[in-house]
Amino acid sequence: MATNMRKDKWVGPIFGKDLLVNYGSKLPPEGGLYLWKKCLIQNPDAIMDETKFKVWLSDCLEIPFIKAHNLKLSKGGKPSQQSIRPNFITFDGLEIGSGKYAKSRIEDFVSEFNSINLRQNVYNMFQDAVIQFSPILYIGEAGSIKNRIRDHLQGQSDFKKRLENIGIDYKETVLFYIVKKDKKKRERELLEYYLTHLLIAPMSVRAG
């Protein structure tokens, strides 16, 4: 039976902490699309004992995945207000994340998973779940994926500042990319535009 083989696909996740080692030098030089997502704090040593595991889990729970205050997600508004695609949501003061939690529940949780193997399984499961199902932070296009991600990592774009504003470090992000070397810039921009609409990436700030 004949099947359709995909010639291109999304590559990832690539952990931000690994990208910081070589500033994305191993990424493809061709053009394409890329997106950033959040991951949990990278600390494999957390599985070694209950105390470290409890601190790691508490730290992860205290950082919201999305935070926005006095930010208008609509096309209109004052010139000083940013417009983010898609433009059908308006809010003032929003945090999406773990919120408040009972610290006693963490004590119970950690005491239940009381071996390195169990904590390793939980660590991997939580990390995989967050990477797969958390919201996308940012979608971009580039003539060279390698060069553009290097710009992000070195602070030559405002994406790093946006992360810092909501308390996220690159070490708490993962990257996905897809090579579109046969696409012209206008075609990549259109793909980026509609992906941003479809996936609601809150940091992909654009004019209308």
What is the model's pLDDT at position 164?
83
Q: Which tens digit of pLDDT belongs to each residue from 38-94? A: 888 888 899 998 899 988 888 887 766 555 555 444 444 444 444 444 434 444 555
Q: Are 123 and 47 in contact (CB under 8 A)?
A: yes
d(CA 146, CA 152): 10
- For each of the domains in the chain, give its residue range(s) and CATH number, in order of start: 9-39+134-208 (3.40.1440.10)
What is the model's pLDDT at position 66?
58
The better pLDDT of the pair 24, 175 is held by: 175
Q: Does the CA dihedral 153-170-201-75 come out positive or negative?
A: negative
Task: Supply the pTM of this predicted model.
Answer: 0.76
% the chain with pLDDT above 90: 31
d(CA 196, CA 206): 10
